[in-house]
């Protein structure tokens, strides 16, 4: 990929976009009753083929209008049509907001229509957009829908286990995936039990998952991006929801600060708190499961204030306080806290063709591990992020976006390994980044998106230029080809080795500078982790309600930094001269690759929702001495999800999910032996000294665990209460769910010392009750 050519191409595109002269018609489309921005609403003209659809903020923009008078109108599936007359003049910006009235509350039909519209006008390769209604379409452990449980059914996603499990996206380990909450980096989005995320599904607006080949707008990670966006609070009235189950409980409150009126400014708030008491409720409700011992607890607090102007500009201020604790009896305990504060804004300058958005955020994360030896083990990371983005619609479908980003973080790490050797780090890191992205539509057939990202890693004194290229070709109205490629880099690394199967101590390190000088006989010239992505695939619309998506991908991890688990000596000059590097280095350099393909079938209508995914994936790593497969290398993964609404007024809902996965790699045991430490030196009497049990291992991860499969099911009954007034929406929901319906004994790990097999969750029923008002 020629970087110089990419720079010249993007600069010329940007120059053209900035100086193009034309009339622009832009604004927002809102639900007239609620003030909620409408996604994928159509805005067009009676006497012209020009038009646009709204984005997730409800924003539309139609550029390059010829001079003249037009009658514009806005509409959406299930809504009325509203008209507005405009007089287009050269180099003029006309702003107008549409407020349209809903005729139907069948929102799932709106989502289907929105998807069909977006497909031909967006390059959504390796991107899955999750709407809140979709979270309710899968059985949920504990009854209440949760984002982490839906992420597990996405193409290319592998989940490692019910307890301490993490998500691996198309061959990338968790630290290679960036999770954003309204622009703020969330360092640990999943709780230790692995069944729940920190996010409340009732406050989500949308979640975009980029599993590979993402655009230049995102950086700082070499595998994937999970972009979570929250909604505003209720702008019309005070409302809320309470929920309780054997696993956790929740309360959500929201309402207006300044009540919404069409054409006027408004403001609102939303507060959510959920708390798990599984460590106390398990002995009561699940005494026969793991002897009633579930030593997990957590709490999640989130709040947000939103201020919206009459013209469409907006400002939100949000904060969160997440915590998690695990206390194994007579053993290790863990606890972590994650706090964050941020503001996000959207500016619509009067008379300007450029739209500005950005955020200023701060977050802090600290995890502590307490062992019986009382030695301190902790990892903390805190940092800030400031970004400013500029968007400009060049014509009806072409768009340029560019921006600047500054971020910095501080890591504080202290850990004692199994040989009582201390590993510590206290580093300050800062980055300055810039990007430009241009989407060009050629005759409504070919969509080409070129991008370039510059990452300046100040602490490492390194700068990377990362070109990105994405495209889509509309072969017919029902068949589309798409592809993407790009370069990616990151500085942050995990304090957990990729070789650890289960490790609840999830800490972070800044990219170290003391890497080995050579790797595979060549000089190590960078301290960064880097990768190259290539993705290609097809979309096929079977009919108006069903589709098939096929994608193949490869991620070439050209350099990965990992903690050296083979270290047994200090890094001294004597050891450097007499020992192999892998016995004294703190960190090692690796490379690797992940490649495979995914096939997805989706059907969605008023009553049915089907989501079927098959993923084939191979992950290889090489550390300079051996090639191995990391523990998350699952070759075959199948997810079958079905949801059906039935009964009068569709008050009943039934969901099922079946997951099948081939076995994970693991290291076989060859033999046991008595291990003598010779703590007394040469005078140690090996004939009378009692040693410890030592394990002779086979080659790394050459074995395979048994296949995994599990069936989950749930049924929900909605009870609608008599409404007190036209704005009242009181209802209750009762959800009965069963995890692992046929009680499959899926292995979690094997205790070699005690020769005991530990399984994942057995058959686990649950009942959840919620009340909304």
Task: Give me the pLDDT at residue 171, please.
Answer: 95
Contact partners, residue 422, CB within 8 Å, separation at least 6: 414, 415, 416
Task: Give me the pLDDT at residue 193, please.
Answer: 82
Task: Give me the pLDDT at residue 111, please.
Answer: 44
Task: Give me the pLDDT at residue 512, please.
Answer: 85
Task: Give me the pLDDT at residue 117, please.
Answer: 56
* Secondary structure letter of residue 147 according to DSSP: H
Burial 541-561 (b: 16+ CB within 10 A, else e): beeebbbebbbebbbebbbbb
Task: Give me the pLDDT at residue 682, please.
Answer: 67
Task: Give me the pLDDT at residue 584, please.
Answer: 84
Extract the residue ranges of the chain whose pLDDT is less than 50: 16-20, 105-114
Task: Give me the pLDDT at residue 206, please.
Answer: 93
Phi and psi (nearest 5°) for 149?
Answer: -75, -30
Q: Among residues 505, 445, 519, 504, which one has the least CA distance to residue 475?
A: 445
Determine the straight-line distance between the first and last CA of the chain, rounded to whole angstroms: 56
Contact partners, residue 3, CB within 8 Å, separation at least 6: 452, 465, 467
Reported as a single tens digit per residue, the pLDDT across 616-656 is 999 999 998 899 999 899 999 999 999 999 999 999 999 99
Q: From CA 721, how far away is CA 140, in angstroms rounded?
A: 25
Task: Give me the pLDDT at residue 89, please.
Answer: 87
Task: Give me the pLDDT at residue 390, please.
Answer: 96
Task: Give me the pLDDT at residue 16, please.
Answer: 47
Reported as a single tens digit per residue, the pLDDT across 464-517 is 999 999 999 999 989 999 999 999 999 998 877 555 555 677 788 888 888 888
Decide: 387 and 359 in contact? Cβ < 8 Å: yes
Structure token pair of residue 550: 């096929």
Task: Give me the pLDDT at residue 738, please.
Answer: 93
- Residue appearing with tokens 């569709």: 650
Structure token pair of residue 661: 């996965």
- Please state the pTM of the whole predicted model: 0.91
Decide: 651 and 717 in contact? Cβ < 8 Å: yes
């Amino acid at each position: 990929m020629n970087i110089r050519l990419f720079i010249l191409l993007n600069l010329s595109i940007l120059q053209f976009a900035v100086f193009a002269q034309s009339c622009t018609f832009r604004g927002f489309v809102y639900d007239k009753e609620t003030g909620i921005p409408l996604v994928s609403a159509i805005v067009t003209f009676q006497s012209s083929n020009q038009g646009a659809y709204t984005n997730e903020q409800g924003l539309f923009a139609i550029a390059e209008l010829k001079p003249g008078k037009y009658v514009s109108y806005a509409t959406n599936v299930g809504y009325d049509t509203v008209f507005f007359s405009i007089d287009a003049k050269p180099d003029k910006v006309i702003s107008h907001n549409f407020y349209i009235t809903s005729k139907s509350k069948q929102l799932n039909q709106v989502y289907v229509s929105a998807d069909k519209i977006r497909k031909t006008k967006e390059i959504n390769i390796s991107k899955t957009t999750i709407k809140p209604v979709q979270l309710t379409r899968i059985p949920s452990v504990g009854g209440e829908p949760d984002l982490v449980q839906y992420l597990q059914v996405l193409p290319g996603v592998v989940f490692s286990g019910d307890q301490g499990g993490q998500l691996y996206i198309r061959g990338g380990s968790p630290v290679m995936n960036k999770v954003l909450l309204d622009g703020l980096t969330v360092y640990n989005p999943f709780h230790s039990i692995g069944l729940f995320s920190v996010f409340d599904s009732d406050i989500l607006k949308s979640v975009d998952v980029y599993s590979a080949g993402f655009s230049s707008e995102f950086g700082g990670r070499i595998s994937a991006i999970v972009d979570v966006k929250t909604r505003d609070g209720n702008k019309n009235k005070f409302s809320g929801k309470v929920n309780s189950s054997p696993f956790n409980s929740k309360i959500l409150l929201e309402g207006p600060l300044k009540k919404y009126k069409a054409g006027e400014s408004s403001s609102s708030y939303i507060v959510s708190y959920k708390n798990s008491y599984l460590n106390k409720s398990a002995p009561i409700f699940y005494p026969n499961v793991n002897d009633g011992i579930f030593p997990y607890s957590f709490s999640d607090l989130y709040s947000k204030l939103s201020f919206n102007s009459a013209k469409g500009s907006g400002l939100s201020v949000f904060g969160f306080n997440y915590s998690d604790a695990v206390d194994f009896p007579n053993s290790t305990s863990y606890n972590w806290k994650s706090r964050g504060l941020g503001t996000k804004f959207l500016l619509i300058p009067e008379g300007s063709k450029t739209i500005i958005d950005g955020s200023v955020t701060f977050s802090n994360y600290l995890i502590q591990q307490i062992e019986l030896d009382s030695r301190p083990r902790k990892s903390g990371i805190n940092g800030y992020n400031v970004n400013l983005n500029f968007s400009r619609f060049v014509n009806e479908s072409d768009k340029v976006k560019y921006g600047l980003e500054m971020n910095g973080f501080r890591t504080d790490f202290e850990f004692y390994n199994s040989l009582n050797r201390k590993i510590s780090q206290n580093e300050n890191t800062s980055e300055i980044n810039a990007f430009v992205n241009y989407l060009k539509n050629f005759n409504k057939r070919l969509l080409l998106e070129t991008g370039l990202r510059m990452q300046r890693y100040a602490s490492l004194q390194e700068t990377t230029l990362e070109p990105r290229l994405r495209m889509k070709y509309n072969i017919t109205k029902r068949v589309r080809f798409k592809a993407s490629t790009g370069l990616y880099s990151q500085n942050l690394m995990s304090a957990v080795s990729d070789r650890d199967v289960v490790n609840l101590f999830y800490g972070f390190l800044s990219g170290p500078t003391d890497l080995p000088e050579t790797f595979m006989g060549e000089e190590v010239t960078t301290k960064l982790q880097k990768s190259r992505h290539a993705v290609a695939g097809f979309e096929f619309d079977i009919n108006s309600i069903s589709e098939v998506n096929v994608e193949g991908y490869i991620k070439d991890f050209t350099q990965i930094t990992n903690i050296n688990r083979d270290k047994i000596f200090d890094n001294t000059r004597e050891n450097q001269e007499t020992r192999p590097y892998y016995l004294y280095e703190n960190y090692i350099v690796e490379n690797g690759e992940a490649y495979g393909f995914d096939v997805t079938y989706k059907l969605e209508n008023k009553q049915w929702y089907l989501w079927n995914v098959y993923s084939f994936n191979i992950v290889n790593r090489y550390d300079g001495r051996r090639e191995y497969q990391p523990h998350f290398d699952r070759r075959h993964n199948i997810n079958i999800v079905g949801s059906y609404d039935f009964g009068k007024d569709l008050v009943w809902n039934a969901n099922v999910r079946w997951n099948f996965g081939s076995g994970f790699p693991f290291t076989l045991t060859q033999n046991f032996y008595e291990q003598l430490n010779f703590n007394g030196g040469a005078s140690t009497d090996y004939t009378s000294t009692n040693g410890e049990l030592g394990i002779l291992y086979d080659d790394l991860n050459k074995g395979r665990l048994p296949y995994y499969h599990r069936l989950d099911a749930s049924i929900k009954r909605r009870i609608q209460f008599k409404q007190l007034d036209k704005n009242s929406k009181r209802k209750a929901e009762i959800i009965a769910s069963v995890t692992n319906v046929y009680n499959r004994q899926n292995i979690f790990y094997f205790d070699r010392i005690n020769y005991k097999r530990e399984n994942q969750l057995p058959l686990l029923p649950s009942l959840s009750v919620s009340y909304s008002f």
